[in-house]
Amino acid sequence: MEAELTIITSANANEIILRATLRASELGVAACISIVDAGAHLLAFQRMDGASLGPVDVSQRKARTAVLFQMPTGDFGKVIVDHGLTGMELSNGGLAAFHGGLPILDGDIMLGAIGVSGGSAEQDLDIARYALAGR
Read off the pLDDT of residues 22-42 as tens digits, 9 standing for 90 and up: 999 999 999 999 999 999 999
Give this prediction's pTM: 0.91
* pLDDT cut 70: percent of the chain above it: 94
Q: Is 130 exposed, middle or buried (0-12, 13-18, 19+ CB in 10 A)?
A: middle
Q: Could you give all domains of the chain from N- to C-terminal order, each with its CATH number?
A: 10-133 (3.30.450.150)
> 89 vs 56, which has greater pLDDT?
56
Q: Please give the Cα distance from 127 to 106 (Å, whole number).
A: 20
Which residues does 19 contact at the CB level (< 8 Å), separation at least 6? 130, 131, 133, 134
Give the pLDDT of residue 135: 66
